[in-house]
Amino acid sequence: MSCSELSDYVFYLRDRGLARRTIKEYRKIVQYLLEYLEVGDGSLSQVTTAQIQEYIAYLQEKGLVRNTIAGHLQVSSRFFAFLLEKGSIEKDPQTPNTPNTPNTPNT
């Protein structure tokens, strides 16, 4: 699967000066998530919290240990944060009920 958002993310990681090995691992984890979700360009905004929960269950069924799953979620959270900042999605599907804009008190 080719996803321009993933390519953009890899360029972003390179610009931030991350090590080549780290970038390779992040790319692999995000690619794995995207393949599981069967999403491509333009459909990342349709990913739901329920799908992320199903992905976590899938990783558990595959026999991944808790720390490995936590690593996958940390990487995917950073990917979704990148997409939020870029304006490609309106909310992070890993964080239920969290809009893109910060909460402001009513005055």
Q: Express each pLDDT in 26-43 by its tens digit.
A: 999 999 999 999 876 557
Q: Do residues 84 and 92 touch, judged by C-beta distance below 8 A?
A: yes
3-state secondary structure of 104: coil
pLDDT in tens, 49-83: 999 999 999 999 999 999 999 999 999 999 999 99
Residue with tokens 């090995």: 21
